[in-house]
Amino acid sequence: MSDRPDFVYLASQSPRRRELLAQWGVRCELLLPDADEDAESLETPLPNEAPSRYVRRVTALKLEAAMARLKRRGLAPAPVLCADTTVALGKRILGKPADAADARRMLAALSGQTHRVMTAVAVGKGARRWAAVSDSRVEFDDLSPTRIRHYVATGEPMGKAGAYAIQGHAGLWVRRIHGSHTGIIGLPAYETAQLLRAAGLNIL
Question: Residue 73 maps to which CATH number?
Answer: 3.90.950.10
| pLDDT score recorded for residue 39 | 74
Q: Kindly state whether residue 139 falls inside one of the protein's structural domains.
A: yes
Q: Kindly state whether residue 110 falls inside one of the protein's structural domains.
A: yes
Specify whether 84 is catalytic.
Answer: yes
From the candidates 3, 6, 36, 84, which is the catalytic residue? 84
Q: Kindly state whether residue 37 falls inside one of the protein's structural domains.
A: yes
Q: Kindly state whether residue 91 falls inside one of the protein's structural domains.
A: yes
Q: Say if CB 110 and CB 140 are below 8 A apart.
A: yes
| pLDDT score recorded for residue 36 | 83
Q: Kindly state whether residue 3 falls inside one of the protein's structural domains.
A: no
Q: Kindly state whether residue 125 falls inside one of the protein's structural domains.
A: yes
Strands, E assignment, the chain: 8-10, 28-30, 80-89, 92-94, 114-125, 128-140, 174-178
| pLDDT score recorded for residue 1 | 42
Q: Say if CB 55 and CB 119 are below 8 A apart.
A: yes
| pLDDT score recorded for residue 149 | 97
DSSP string, 37-68: --GGGGGPPPTT--HHHHHHHHHHHHHHHHHH
pLDDT per residue as tens digits for the range 5-59: 789 999 999 999 999 999 999 999 999 998 888 777 788 899 999 999 999 999 9
Q: Kindly state whether residue 64 falls inside one of the protein's structural domains.
A: yes
Which structural domain range is residue 35 located in? 8-198
Q: Kindly state whether residue 52 falls inside one of the protein's structural domains.
A: yes
pLDDT score of 187 more than 90? yes
Which of these, 149, 50, 161, lies nearest to 98 by C-alpha position? Answer: 161
- Give me the number of domains the chain comprises: 1
pLDDT per residue as tens digits for the range 55-105: 999 999 999 999 999 999 999 999 999 999 999 999 999 999 999 999 999
pLDDT score of 151 more than 50? yes
The chain-wide mean pLDDT, for the chain, equals 94
Torsions phi, psi for 129 (to 5 deg): -135, 140
